[in-house]
Copies of this chain bind each other. A is one copy, B any other.
Amino acid sequence: MQSFSDRLAENIKQRGNPVLVGLDPRFDSLPESLIAEVSPTNWSGVAKAYALFCREVIDIVAPLVPAVKPQAAFFEQIGPPGMNALADVIEYAHRKDLLVIFDGKRNDIGSTATAYAQGILGSGPAVRLDSDSTKAIKSPWGADALTVNPYLGDDSLQPFIETARERGAGVFVLVKTSNPGGGMFQDLVAEGRPLYRHAAEYVERNAAETLGQCGYGIVGAVVGATYPRQLAELREAMPHAWILVPGFGSQGGTAADAAGAFDERGLGAIVNNSRGIIFAHSSKPYRERFGAARWREAVEAATREMIEQLRANTPAGKLARK
């Protein structure tokens, strides 16, 4: 079975960029045409609009970028119908040859962590098999990777890593998050270094033990573009870990801020943008250029612009297709 890290590297090289499109459907931000006849408390109706919207976004970005990251919270917000929509969106993204990172920040202990991992990780048929590997497992949610929270320690993280190993999937551990208040606990200094460095050591150790041919392991880290100094520091501290970089765009991070996350080949990082791409129609300069009716063109233009920004300002420029 090809490892998640190699599948990610391959998709990045094939598309020629490391852009991760965040699928964060929010009722109030959807293009008017999709919600004109839907009441915000009609959860089934909202769920249908979310699925339709995400499918259309996927149609636009699938030829351009390597992966998408549905944010579980926005689907969970509208109850069980939202969870149906989430499963539908994941399946649709796979059909379009996108990798799917389930952003759930899940965490629990022992066999409960295993339950999350078994439910979420494993995309089955999308996993390409070697001749001597076992059968690919498609889990109910069918994601290629999952974000997880480290607060509960090693025996809460191993079940995720073990399941990911068995199923050709990946795990991204929160290390240094993009929010302004993230430092409250993550920056506390223990044994001479901040908590996030302790988490990073754990990630690096487990990444180094699960290396693919691309030089990275199946255990990665989440580090915000809003902390560029720490991002460069953590790239160095975790030479074998993919870094998922949130905080680009709406949260203030720029391409230059994300530059430190990459290795010299232009690999090692995927940079997420959610609102800045999927709701581009309502922000400058796309609002004037396209407006709500031409929201699909705004999504494409914003995706292409982010790709160009990363190519111009980070080592990811070396990935550009000739």
Give the distance in Å from the alpha carbon of A177 to the alpha carbon of B26 in the complex.
Answer: 33
Name the one of B80, B182, B184 contacting A83, with C-beta atoms under 8 angstroms: B80
Kindly state whether residue A112 has any CB partner on chain B within 8 Å: yes
Kindly state whether residue A210 has any CB partner on chain B within 8 Å: no
Interface residues on A, range: 35 or more
Kindly state whether residue A73 has any CB partner on chain B within 8 Å: yes
Kindly state whether residue A150 has any CB partner on chain B within 8 Å: yes
Give the distance in Å from the alpha carbon of A190 to the alpha carbon of B194 in the complex.
Answer: 9
Q: Which residues of B contact A63 (CB under 8 A)?
A: none
Report A160-192 residues with CB < 8 Å from chain B CB. Answer: 174, 177-186, 188-191
Q: Is B80 touching A87 in the complex (CB atoms < 8 A)?
A: yes
**Are A151 and B154 CB-contacts (below 8 A) given A76-B120, A198-B185?**
no
Give the distance in Å from the alpha carbon of A190 to the alpha carbon of B193 in the complex.
Answer: 10
In angstroms, how far is the closest chain B Cβ from the Cβ of A169?
Answer: 15
Q: Is A153 touching B140 in the complex (CB atoms < 8 A)?
A: no
Q: Is B24 touching A112 in the complex (CB atoms < 8 A)?
A: yes
Query: A interface, by DSSP: helix, strand, loop or mixed?
Result: helix
**Are A182 and B115 CB-contacts (below 8 A) given A84-B80, A120-B76?**
no
Name the one of B113, B119, B151, B189 contacting A186, with C-beta atoms under 8 angstroms: B151
In angstroms, how far is the closest chain B Cβ from the Cβ of A216?
Answer: 23
Give the distance in Å from the alpha carbon of A211 to the alpha carbon of B308 in the complex.
Answer: 52
Give the distance in Å from the alpha carbon of A79 to the alpha carbon of B110 in the complex.
Answer: 20
Seen from chain A, the residues whose Cβ lies within 8 Å of a Cβ on chain B are 24, 26, 43, 71, 73-74, 76-80, 82-84, 86-87, 105-113, 115-116, 118-120, 139-141, 149-156, 174, 177-186, 188-191, 195, 198-199, 202
